[in-house]
């Protein structure tokens, strides 16, 4: 870097881009009572820096971010403190003034890709809105001076025209001219270089000076390179620019994709479109509010990697909101931990992770599944010393070897008929495994891998196309009325969504008591007693009996769902993403509970999840599924330590923070 | 799309047959002898009566009568009324009046319903929102004939602002009051539907995303709130065209308009099976076609819906 740009970078680095000081945000309830969501919180973002705000839901992290954007929902109001962007106070700005700041200076990548795109407008149109709202010049790049300095100091920009984009009409001519120039200069391996150009010279995204630079690097003399670039890079139109933005965000075949509607996109693709929208007007600050929490781990990694490279090359600072400490530590240089509306800790990522000061941060570090590397030890064994811990391990292996198979899945296949397609869709393709009594088997895979379909077939809720499921040696498809009822009693499900799996009109007591009543177990009095026992088992107070699901938190509801599953003393619990919707700390509690229950009553678990980090904590054996097929099947340790298949390795790599080293003080 | 359209058109056949059969059976089951009714208080000559019966096929079993009706209806020959006029001519006279009335009512309910609904939905909790809500609730709970008579009394009789009844060949001014009465209930529903849609869409995530893009409040409201809110409203409006034609019966009685509703009413009173069934058949067709058009329109409005 030249001295001049160096100075520029340093100067910019000294002045914070975003400075939030003693921010307080209040909401008003229907009855007019104020509720404080954020109080006295301060954090700072420097240009080009990634800062992560970590905390559980309700900790005020999203509210803080929305306060910065001036987009607080409902009755939300900033009641104190200051928010400064580029040294300019944002608190108290009129909504008209805020409109001018949003988009150009601050962009947003929201949380849920499913609900954040308007279903009735084409993707391209929604990108176009972002460009039009800020009067962006679509024919040329608008990079901040810092990004210019960061991107490459070797190239001196001569005029503004050097930032013109490649247009789709001129692109074929440009490629032809480039080829001619390469041949004229007598460069070796022309085809190879042309292939790289084909790939990197994206319409509406690559600029004149970058093209010239590429040619010079490839060996074309300076003057020739600039001549080619000047002749054939003359700016893009709106459609080119939209395609360019989408391509930058990692969307393949962007020009075609831009004409599609959101429902024709997968979650990952939608999130890429939202990234393109957030960065469309080249903001200095991008607020990424849990941008990938709704996505599969592998997709999550790809998208965050991409976002990282993109924001780095543009010099965009990112305020990254997440509940995942591992993810935050991996991505951001600076961590801000929020708890109950307050910033409890902030500092450089590794510092916070390795020497957490606040008790909450300590708990968070301990509980983060992505950082844990051990199977949870049951409560009984937690009490005793390290020696018996070793014993647990060996005992565990023994149980695995010797115990009988309680559920066996044999060459299971399930086909579905797709509308408008002649061939059948194989959701599950020849899958075999067995669950041993008293152990946990986890099925891992991305969404669409067929893992839930397997669960539904094991539960006898779905009939397999071929193959069979045996329970204690008997084919479950032969079960008729009485046997089926008995089977239902002994194999219980716990589903993903604790909000949807409890009837909102049933009191907690009635929800837990229902299976007992259906199976005609005990009289009224003994059932009340049993419900009390069950609540005690899941560590909930008796007082929740008379309450309704909407009065409980997500974690509490999932405990109720577990209590209900446990009501009939089942032998097997099939947990379909049972902890995926929960916060880390709650997730940790539920996992520990499940583990303790297993140790006490010898339960077997079939655990379906997309989260390998959770698997490590709970499972003895792992089955990895992809596209309906079984990819790998081994003990948990083996899978984690010596994964055999590339897909499993990818999944393991995708665990956020998996490679971070922890040195806990506590 | 073409395949879907064809299937929908084929589906109309059983619907039309089913409804006409039902109506035919109901009219057939009406107490009283239509031939006797034709003669009023005068004694009926048995031979003349028998001739009339055979002329109108009244001596044949019910199902044969129906099949004859159906066969003739295919050639648009609906037979004659008891008074000797061709049914098709009677309908041809009455229909344009009802269409005029229905269109006016439709425009009335669409314009005022959507406008008040949007105002109410955007400014939830303001005093005018409450006023709009209360008025719409009133319109929904009070039957049309009450609204009709009240307006007739005040606007027509007491203040003399608008004609009390419409007369034989009504113009725009004559139909103004009947049309607003006819459209009032639907307008109230549209107000409420629009209000709910607007106020729920305004807190959608994509609206926030649009604001985060830096779009102005005006374009966010237009492009993201209103555009999406109109989907169910337009669907409701489309389906309502058919309902307006049917609902015209009461309004036409009150304001003495010689439209399809009034003719239908006369037919029922006189037990004229052919006239009643013919009118109902046409109303059923209007209804079914409107529904089809609405479904097609729905796909245009909401890209998520594709018919196969």
Distance between CA A70 and CA A92 in Å, rounded? 10
Q: How many CB atoms lie within 10 A of CB B276?
A: 24
Tens-place pLDDT, residues A368-379: 665 545 566 554
A73-77, A314-318, B52-56, B59-63: range with lowest mean pLDDT:
B52-56
ipTM above 0.90, yes or no: no
Q: How far is A74 from chain B (nearest CA, A)?
A: 8
Predicted pLDDT at A499: 72
pLDDT band at A132 (very low <50, low <70, confident <90, very high): very high
Predicted pLDDT at A419: 65
Contacts with A122 from chain B: Cβ below 8 Å = 303
Contact A71 B304 (CB under 8 A): no
Contacts with A112 from chain B: Cβ below 8 Å = 205
Q: Give the chain B residue whose CA is nearest to the CA of A130.
A: B213
Share of chain A above pLDDT 70, in %: 87
pLDDT band at A503 (very low <50, low <70, confident <90, very high): confident
Q: Which of A73, A102, A261 shows the shortest C-beta gap to B212?
A: A102
Contact A101 B223 (CB under 8 A): no
Domain boundaries, chain A: 17-120+279-366, 145-236, 379-508+571-653
Contacts with B308 from chain A: Cβ below 8 Å = 419-420
Tens-place pLDDT, residues A445-484: 887 788 888 998 999 988 899 998 999 888 888 888 888 8
Q: Contacts for B295-301 with beta carbons within 8 Å, 24 or more apart?
A: B295/B8, B296/B5, B297/B234, B297/B235, B297/B238, B298/B231, B298/B234, B298/B235, B301/A120, B301/B230, B301/B231, B301/B234, B301/B235
Is residue A13 pLDDT above 60, yes or no?
A: no
Predicted pLDDT at A157: 55
Contacts with A282 from chain B: Cβ below 8 Å = none
Give whole-number Cα distances, A385 to A372, A374, A394, A500, B153, in Å.
20, 16, 15, 41, 94
Q: Give the chain A residue whose CA is nearest to the CA of B212.
A: A102
| pTM as predicted | 0.77
Contact B203 A101 (CB under 8 A): no
Q: How far is B209 from chain A (nearest CA, A)?
A: 6
| Class of domain A17-120+279-366 (CATH, top level) | alpha beta
**What does pLDDT average to over chain B?**
86
pLDDT band at B129 (very low <50, low <70, confident <90, very high): very high
pLDDT band at A149 (very low <50, low <70, confident <90, very high): low
Distance between CA A508 and CA A531 in Å, rounded? 10
Contact A120 B303 (CB under 8 A): yes
Domain boundaries A379-508+571-653, corresponding CATH code? 3.40.50.300
What strands, in cross-sheet order, belong to the sheet with A88-89?
A34-45, A18-28, A77-85, A88-89
Q: How far is B136 from chain A (nearest CA, A)?
A: 25
Share of chain A above pLDDT 90, in %: 25
Stretch A656-664: mean pLDDT = 57
Q: How far is A105 from chain B (nearest CA, A)?
A: 9
Most A CBs within 10 Å, among B1, B214, B305, to test the A interface = B214
Q: How many CB pairs under 8 A join A and B?
A: 91
Superfamily assignment of B89-260 in CATH?
MetI-like (1.10.3720.10)
Contact B215 A71 (CB under 8 A): no
Domain boundaries, chain B: 89-260
Are β-strands A621-626 and A440-444 bridged in parallel, bridged antiparallel, or unpaired? parallel
Q: How many CB atoms lie within 10 A of CB A430?
A: 14
Contacts with B204 from chain A: Cβ below 8 Å = 115, 118
Q: How many CB atoms lie within 10 A of CB A404?
A: 10
Q: For residues B227 and B286, is the Cβ–Cβ distance under 8 A?
A: no
Task: Read off the DSSP letter of residue B80.
Answer: B
Task: Read off the DSSP letter of residue A478.
Answer: G
Contact B304 A119 (CB under 8 A): yes
Predicted pLDDT at A117: 94
Contacts with B304 from chain A: Cβ below 8 Å = 119, 261, 263
Contact A102 B211 (CB under 8 A): yes
Q: Give the chain B residue whose CA is nearest to the CA of A262.
A: B304
Contacts with B302 from chain A: Cβ below 8 Å = 119-120
Q: How far is A606 from chain B (nearest CA, A)?
A: 36
What are the residues of chain A with a beta carbon less than 8 Å away from any beta carbon of chain B? 69, 71, 73-74, 95, 99-104, 106-108, 110, 112, 115-122, 129-130, 133-134, 261, 263, 274, 277-278, 280-281, 419-420
Tens-place pLDDT, residues B194-206: 999 999 999 889 9
Stretch A237-261: mean pLDDT = 89
Q: Which of B213, B223, B303 shows the shortest C-beta gap to A277?
A: B213
Contact A133 B303 (CB under 8 A): no
Q: Which of B205, B215, B228 shows the shortest C-beta gap to A120?
A: B228
Predicted pLDDT at A377: 57
Does this chain's domain A17-120+279-366 share its CATH topology with A379-508+571-653? yes
Contacts with B214 from chain A: Cβ below 8 Å = 99-104, 130, 133-134, 281
Most A CBs within 10 Å, among B1, B199, B212, B223, to test the A interface = B212
Contacts with B208 from chain A: Cβ below 8 Å = 71, 73, 108, 110, 116
A374 contact partners, CB below 8 Å, separation of at least 6:
A616, A617
Q: Which of A71, A99, A122 shows the shortest C-beta gap to B208?
A: A71
pLDDT band at A3 (very low <50, low <70, confident <90, very high): very low
Most B CBs within 10 Å, among A133, A282, A289, to test the B interface = A133
Q: How far is A585 from chain B (nearest CA, A)?
A: 27
B213 interfaces chain A, CB cutoff of 8 Å: yes
Q: How far is A70 from chain B (nearest CA, A)?
A: 9
Measured in Å, how far apart are chain B's first and last C-alpha atoms? 6
Is residue A386 pLDDT above 50, yes or no?
A: no
**What does pLDDT average to over chain A?**
83
Report which of A85, A64, A44, A48 is spatially closest to residue A335, judged by C-alpha positions.
A44
B210 interfaces chain A, CB cutoff of 8 Å: yes
Q: How many CB atoms lie within 10 A of CB A132?
A: 18
B7 interfaces chain A, CB cutoff of 8 Å: no
pLDDT band at B9 (very low <50, low <70, confident <90, very high): confident
How many Cα atoms within 13 Å fall on the side-chain side of residue A486?
Answer: 10
Report which of A511, A622, A515 is spatially closest to residue A559, judged by C-alpha positions.
A511
B205 interfaces chain A, CB cutoff of 8 Å: yes
Is residue B293 pLDDT above 70, yes or no?
A: yes
Contacts with A134 from chain B: Cβ below 8 Å = 213-214
Is residue A664 pLDDT above 50, yes or no?
A: no
Stretch A417-445: mean pLDDT = 84
Three-state DSSP class for A322? Answer: strand
Contact B215 A277 (CB under 8 A): no
Predicted pLDDT at B270: 78
Q: Which of A73, A133, A420 shows the shortest C-beta gap to B213?
A: A133
pLDDT band at A27 (very low <50, low <70, confident <90, very high): confident
Question: To 10 degrees, what angle do helices B273-301 and B62-74 make?
Answer: 60
Measured in Å, how far apart are chain A's first and last C-alpha atoms? 44
B223 interfaces chain A, CB cutoff of 8 Å: yes
Q: Give the chain B residue whose CA is nearest to the CA of A280.
A: B213
Most A CBs within 10 Å, among B3, B125, B201, B209, to test the A interface = B209
Is residue A153 pLDDT above 60, yes or no?
A: no
Contact B209 A277 (CB under 8 A): yes
Is residue A324 pLDDT above 90, yes or no?
A: no
Distance between CA A468 and CA B69 in Å, rounded? 60
Q: Which of B214, B223, B227 shows the shortest C-beta gap to A134?
A: B214
For the record, the structure tokens of A201 come out as 């010279």
Segments in chain B forming alpha helices (H)? 2-29, 34-39, 46-55, 62-74, 87-122, 127-141, 144-151, 172-201, 205-212, 217-220, 227-255, 260-270, 273-301
Contact A129 B204 (CB under 8 A): no
Three-state DSSP class for B232? Answer: helix
Most B CBs within 10 Å, among A65, A129, A286, to test the B interface = A129
A57-66, A448-457, A500-509, B238-247: range with lowest mean pLDDT:
B238-247
């Amino acid at each position: 870097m030249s001295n001049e740009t160096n100075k520029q970078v340093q100067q910019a680095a000294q002045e914070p881009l975003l400075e939030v000081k003693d921010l307080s945000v209040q909401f008003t309830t229907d009855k007019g009572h104020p509720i404080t969501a954020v109080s006295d919180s301060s954090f700072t973002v420097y240009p080009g820096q990634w800062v992560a705000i970590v905390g559980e839901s309700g900790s005020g992290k999203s509210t803080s971010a929305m306060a910065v954007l001036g987009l607080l929902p409902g009755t939300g109001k900033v009641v104190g403190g200051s928010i400064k962007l580029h040294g300019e106070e944002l608190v108290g700005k009129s909504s008209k003034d805020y409109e001018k700041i949003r988009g150009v200076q601050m962009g947003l990548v929201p949380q849920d890709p499913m609900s954040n795109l308007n279903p009735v407008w084409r993707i391209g149109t929604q990108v176009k809105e972002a460009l039009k709202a800020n009067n962006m010049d679509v024919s040329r790049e608008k990079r901040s001076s810092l990004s210019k300095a960061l991107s490459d100091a070797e190239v001196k920009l001569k005029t503004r025209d050097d930032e013109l984009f490649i247009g789709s009409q001129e692109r074929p001519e440009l490629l032809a001219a480039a080829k001619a120039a390469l041949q004229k200069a007598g460069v070796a391996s022309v085809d190879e270089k042309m292939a790289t150009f084909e790939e990197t010279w994206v319409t509406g995204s690559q600029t004149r000076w970058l093209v010239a630079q590429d040619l010079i690097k490839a060996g074309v003399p300076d003057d020739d390179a600039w001549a080619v670039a000047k002749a054939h890079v003359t700016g893009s139109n709106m459609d080119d620019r939209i395609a360019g933005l989408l391509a930058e965000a990692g969307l393949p075949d962007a020009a075609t994709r831009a004409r599609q509607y959101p429902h024709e996109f997968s979650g990952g693709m939608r999130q890429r479109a939202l990234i393109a929208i957030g960065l469309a007007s080249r903001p200095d600050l991008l607020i990424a509010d849990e941008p990938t929490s709704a996505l599969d781990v592998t997709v999550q990694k790809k998208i965050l990697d991409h976002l990282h490279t993109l924001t780095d090359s543009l010099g965009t600072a990112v305020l990254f909101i997440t509940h995942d400490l591992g993810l935050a530590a991996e991505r951001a240089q600076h961590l801000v931990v929020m708890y109950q509306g307050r910033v409890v800790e902030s500092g450089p990522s590794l510092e916070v992770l390795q020497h957490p000061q606040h008790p909450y941060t300590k708990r968070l570090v301990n509980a983060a599944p992505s950082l844990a590397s051990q199977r949870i030890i049951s409560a009984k064994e937690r009490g005793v010393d390290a020696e018996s811990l070793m014993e647990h391990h060996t005992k565990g292996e023994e149980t695995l070897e010797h115990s009988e198979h309680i559920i066996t899945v044999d060459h299971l296949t399930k086909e579905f008929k797709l509308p408008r397609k002649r061939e059948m869709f194989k959701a599950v393709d020849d899958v075999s495994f067995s669950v041993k009594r008293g152990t946990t088997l986890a099925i891992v895979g991305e969404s669409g891998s067929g893992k839930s379909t397997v669960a539904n077939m094991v539960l006898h809720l779905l009939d397999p196309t071929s193959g069979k499921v045996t329970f204690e040696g008997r084919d479950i498809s032969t079960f008729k009325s009485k046997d089926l009822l008995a089977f239902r009693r002994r194999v219980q499900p716990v589903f993903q969504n604790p909000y949807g799996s409890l009837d909102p009109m049933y009191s907690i007591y009635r929800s837990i008591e229902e299976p007992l009543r259906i199976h005609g177990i005990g009289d009224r009095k003994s059932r009340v007693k049993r419900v009390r026992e069950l609540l005690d088992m899941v560590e909930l107070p008796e007082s929740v009996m008379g309450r309704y699901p909407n009065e409980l938190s997500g974690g509490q509801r999932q405990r109720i769902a577990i209590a209900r599953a446990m009501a009939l003393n089942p032998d097997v619990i099939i947990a379909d993403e049972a902890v995926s919707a929960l916060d880390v700390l709650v997730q940790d509690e539920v996992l520990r509970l499940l583990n303790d229950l297993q140790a006490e009553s010898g339960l077997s678990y079939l655990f379906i999840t997309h989260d390998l980090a959770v698997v490590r904590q709970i499972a003895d054996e792992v089955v990895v599924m992809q596209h309906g097929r079984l990819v790998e099947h081994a003990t948990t340790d083996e899978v984690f330590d010596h994964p055999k298949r590339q897909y499993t390795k990818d999944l393991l790599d995708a665990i956020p923070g998996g490679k971070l080293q922890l040195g806990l003080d506590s | 799309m073409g395949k879907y359209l064809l299937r929908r058109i084929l589906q109309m056949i059983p619907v039309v047959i089913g409804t006409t059969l039902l109506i035919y059976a109901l009219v057939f089951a009406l107490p009283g002898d239509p031939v006797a009714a034709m003669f009023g208080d005068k004694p009926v000559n048995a031979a003349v009566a028998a001739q009339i019966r055979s002329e109108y096929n009244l001596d044949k079993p019910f199902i044969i009568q129906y099949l004859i009706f159906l066969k003739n209806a295919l050639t648009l020959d609906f037979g004659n009324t008891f008074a000797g006029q061709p049914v098709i001519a009677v309908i041809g006279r009455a229909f344009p009046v009802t269409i005029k009335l229905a269109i006016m009512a439709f425009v009335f309910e669409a314009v005022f319903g959507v406008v008040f609904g949007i105002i109410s939905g955007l400014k939830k909790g303001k005093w005018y929102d409450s006023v709009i809500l209360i008025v719409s609730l009133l319109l929904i709970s009070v039957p049309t004939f009450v609204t009709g008579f009240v307006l007739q009394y005040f606007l027509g009789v007491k203040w003399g602002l608008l004609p009390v009844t419409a007369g034989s060949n009504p113009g725009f001014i004559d139909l103004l009051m009947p049309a607003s009465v006819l459209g009032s209930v639907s307008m109230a529903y549209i107000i409420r539907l629009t209000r709910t849609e607007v106020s729920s869409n305004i807190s959608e995530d994509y609206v926030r995303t649009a604001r985060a893009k830096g779009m102005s409040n005006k374009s966010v409201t237009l492009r993201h709130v209103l555009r999406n809110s109109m989907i169910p409203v337009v669907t409701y409006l489309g389906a309502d065209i058919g309902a307006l034609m049917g609902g015209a019966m009461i309004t036409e009685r009150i304001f003495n308009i010689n439209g399809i509703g009034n003719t239908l009413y006369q037919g029922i009173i006189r037990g004229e099976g052919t006239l009643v069934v013919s009118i109902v058949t046409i109303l059923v067709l209007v209804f079914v076609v409107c529904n089809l058009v609405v479904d097609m329109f729905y796909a245009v409005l909401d890209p998520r819906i594709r018919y196969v």
